[in-house]
Amino acid sequence: MARAGAGLFASIPLVLVGSAGCSGAFRSSSADPTVVTWAGPAGTYLELAPVDSPDSVPLLIEISETSWELRYGDYWRTAQESGTFDVSVDNDGYWVGASLMLPNGLDVGASAQGTTVLDQTSVETWYGTFDDALVVDVWAGDFRGNAAYASGIGPIQLTWQGVDWDIVYYEHE
């Protein structure tokens, strides 16, 4: 099951976050400020495993105010760099590279540029169950596919280059 604390920052205590604020410099004035809290507040580190193979090499994500950095490996310092994607927020929502990850207006049925909030429900992951998650269909880009987000954490399920990933560990600065 979950490998909480066994991954990317094993020597740092796990901090569970219920909600987090965001930098005023990061979001545009036209964007819903909660979209950043759901999509991934700056200072969040995630470790995800393939849904069908939780013991495989994990995907590590560092979320900053301006980018998502992705790496493959067990430890951040030694993990293979896989890509860095600029983050932006506009009238449509929260973008990572060319993928609209979450539309503004986070209600079920909200949609922009083909990305749609499908449900707000409980989502079970390798890490555990998140009682309040947004389930989204991401329409385009490297992250095209299904995703789920927990407020204050970011993606707890994600499609990256056609592979479905599930959270196994996270922390927030």
What does the pLDDT profile of the chain (173 residues) look like in tens digits? 333 344 433 333 333 333 333 222 222 334 445 899 999 899 999 999 999 998 899 999 999 999 999 999 999 999 999 999 999 999 999 999 999 999 998 999 999 999 999 999 999 999 999 999 999 999 999 999 999 999 999 999 999 989 999 999 999 88
For residue 21, tell me if it sits in a domain. no
d(CA 82, CA 144): 17
CB contact set of 29 (below 8 Å; sequence gap of 6+) = none
- pTM beyond 0.75: the answer is yes
Residue-wise burial string across 118-145, b where 16 or more C-beta atoms lie within 10 A, e elsewhere: beeeebebbbeebeebbbbebbebbbbb
For residue 148, tell me if it sits in a domain. yes
**Domain extent for 155:** 34-172
For residue 96, tell me if it sits in a domain. yes
Number of domains in the chain: 1
